[in-house]
């Protein structure tokens, strides 16, 4: 059995390495084609470009590994079945489950490694990629200025240029905005944009400044210049770019997300406590409604009780009605806040389950790939690739759909992130059961060799 184990590990390892390299290359080229316009002609040094591409390689690997496991398993079992090696093993008394055991151990090992990668390496690389992107923006703000398109991110100004020659902008036109007193427009033959600690510095050459008073259009000024410097304060914009303490959910480890979840749960408890206190002050009863509808129903019941109380004076009645109306308005605000906190908490819960559900899919894909490869009896790259990409595409659609539904609180995060695994596990177990019984539920005649005449 040890010999069989080593043989299967050897047979599946090489296709896995080949598949991982091929899939990673395809995904990386696709990313590069989408991102290449950020670098070409921008004057960035090669090391910065390579660092940015390397940091973005992390999420590509996280996506490519499960696909590579499925493709490698299909190729391995397809080839072994095509060469009748599986039939020979079974004829010698080795059960299909024993044949499958080394592949499952391989999938489990890859899954555990992927869990570690998703929890400790991927978040940091995503985080560093975002920071590097912000650094590139701060060092080269002119990268985001394209000829013929208005740039509106500068505070108090809109800008459009006619062309670019390296770092120098040509035919620069600037228009003031948000000013109620005057309208200023500037035209310069050329200029360049730089960044200092808390501001943008725009240096213009050979141009004119036109100012028009909006209250009295007869007041007009025209100023010609050879060199004109505009300093634009941008504290808030630069501060947001430099914030290295905050991380998104995809840049956090599980302990970080658990801490975030606990923070949102604490906020929800504070809001619920505040609601209970409001009910006690108005109705003299410590009530904690579980939903907005339940809270509104309690307020309406209290309002009906107040309206039917004949012992109250008109002033007392108006006072109680005002209190109930204020309580109803507060309930709507507080439950909107709870829903917002709940969505944020769910976002981290979804990401936590995602870090484990995708690696677990490696084991499922071993089961699925082994059964499909055995039934297909073909280990060619074309057939294995088409089958694996087709199944993974369906899996990924389910995964993205489940993540979106869970993020919007339509389904529980556990259901949203583990339902694709559950569906594919059922399919894999069904195919494996029929493979064990040597009764294929699918007649894959398309993949069978034609008898040679």
Beta-carbon contacts of residue 399 (< 8 Å; ≥ 6 apart) = 354, 357, 358, 417, 420
* Residues in the chain, overall count: 453
**Closest to 331 measured CA to CA, from 409, 283, 276, 286:** 276
Query: What pLDDT, on the 0 to 100 scale, is given for residue 452?
Result: 43
Helix, strand, coil share of the chain (percent; to 5): 65, 15, 20
Domain locations along the chain: 2-139+351-443, 155-233, 259-347
The dihedrals phi and psi of 173, each to the nearest 5 degrees, come to -125, 130
**Residues 100-122: tens digit of each pLDDT:** 999 999 999 999 999 999 999 99
Counting residues of the chain whose pLDDT is more than 70, the rounded percentage is: 84
In degrees, to the nearest 5, what angle opens at C-alpha 213 toward C-alphas 209 and 214?
Answer: 125
Angle, helices 314-376 vs 46-82, to 10°: value is 60
Tokens of 16: 């896995």
**Residues 120-158: tens digit of each pLDDT:** 999 999 999 888 877 666 555 555 567 777 776 666 777
**Residues 257-301: tens digit of each pLDDT:** 999 999 999 999 999 999 999 888 888 888 888 889 999 999 898
**Residues 207-260: tens digit of each pLDDT:** 998 887 777 666 778 888 999 988 876 554 443 444 455 788 889 999 999 999
Q: Is the pLDDT reported for residue 435 higher than 90?
A: no
Q: What is the pTM (predicted TM-score) of this model?
A: 0.72
User: What's the rounded Cα separation, in Å, for the pair 57 and 125?
Assistant: 9
**Closest to 179 measured CA to CA, from 154, 204, 213, 207:** 213
Beta-carbon contacts of residue 353 (< 8 Å; ≥ 6 apart) = 413, 414, 416, 417, 418
Predicted confidence band of residue 38 (pLDDT cuts 50, 70, 90): low
Across the beta sheet with 168-176, what order do the strands follow?
157-165, 168-176, 182-196, 199-213, 220-233
Task: Judge whether 351 and 415 are in contact, CB under 8 Å.
Answer: no
Q: Is the pLDDT reported for residue 169 higher than 60?
A: yes
User: What's the rounded Cα separation, in Å, for the pair 331 and 319?
Assistant: 18
**Residues 399-415: tens digit of each pLDDT:** 999 999 998 888 899 99
């Amino acid at each position: 059995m040890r010999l069989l184990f080593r043989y299967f590990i050897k047979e599946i390892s090489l296709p896995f390495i080949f598949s991982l390299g091929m899939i990673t290359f395809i995904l990386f080229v696709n990313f590069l084609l989408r991102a290449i316009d950020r670098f070409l002609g921008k004057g960035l040094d090669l090391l910065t470009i390579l660092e940015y591409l390397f940091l973005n390689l992390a999420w590509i690997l996280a996506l490519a590994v499960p696909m590579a496991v499925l493709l490698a398993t299909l190729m391995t079992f397809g080839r072994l079945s095509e060469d009748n090696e599986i039939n020979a093993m079974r004829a010698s008394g080795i059960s299909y489950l024993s044949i499958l055991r080394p592949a499952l151990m391989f999938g489990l090992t890859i899954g555990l490694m992927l869990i570690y990668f998703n929890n400790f390496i991927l978040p940091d690389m995503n985080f560093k990629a975002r920071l590097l992107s912000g650094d590139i923006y701060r060092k080269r703000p002119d990268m985001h200025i394209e000829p013929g398109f208005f740039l509106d991110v500068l505070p108090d100004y809109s800008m459009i240029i006619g062309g670019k020659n390296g770092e120098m902008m040509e035919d620069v036109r600037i228009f003031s905005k948000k000013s109620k007193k005057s309208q200023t427009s500037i035209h310069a033959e050329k200029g360049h944009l730089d960044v200092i600690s808390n501001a943008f510095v725009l240096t213009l050459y050979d141009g004119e400044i036109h100012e028009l008073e909006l209250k009295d259009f007869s007041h007009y000024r025209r100023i010609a210049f050879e060199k004109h410097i505009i300093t634009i304060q941008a504290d808030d914009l630069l501060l947001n770019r430099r914030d290295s303490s905050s991380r998104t959910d995809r840049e956090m480890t599980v302990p970080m997300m658990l801490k975030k979840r606990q923070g949102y749960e604490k906020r929800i408890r504070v809001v619920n406590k505040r609601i209970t206190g409001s009910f006690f002050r108005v109705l003299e009863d410590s009530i904690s409604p579980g939903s907005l509808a339940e809270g509104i129903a309690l307020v309406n019941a209290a309002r009906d009780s107040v309206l039917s109380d004949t012992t109250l004076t008109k002033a007392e009645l108006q006072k109680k009605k005002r209190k109930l109306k204020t309580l109803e308005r507060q309930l709507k605000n507080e439950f909107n806040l709870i829903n917002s906190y709940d969505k944020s908490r769910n976002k981290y819960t979804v990401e936590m389950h995602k870090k484990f559900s995708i690696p677990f899919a490696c084991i499922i894909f071993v089961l699925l790939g082994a059964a499909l490869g055995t039934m297909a009896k073909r280990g060619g790259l074309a057939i294995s690739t088409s089958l694996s990409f087709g199944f993974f595409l369906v899996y990924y659609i389910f995964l993205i759909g489940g993540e979106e539904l869970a993020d919007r609180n339509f389904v529980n995060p556990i259901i949203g992130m583990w339902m694709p695994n559950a569906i594919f596990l059922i399919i894999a177990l069904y195919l494996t059961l029929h493979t064990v019984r040597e009764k294929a539920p699918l007649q894959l005649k398309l993949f069978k060799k034609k008898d040679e005449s």
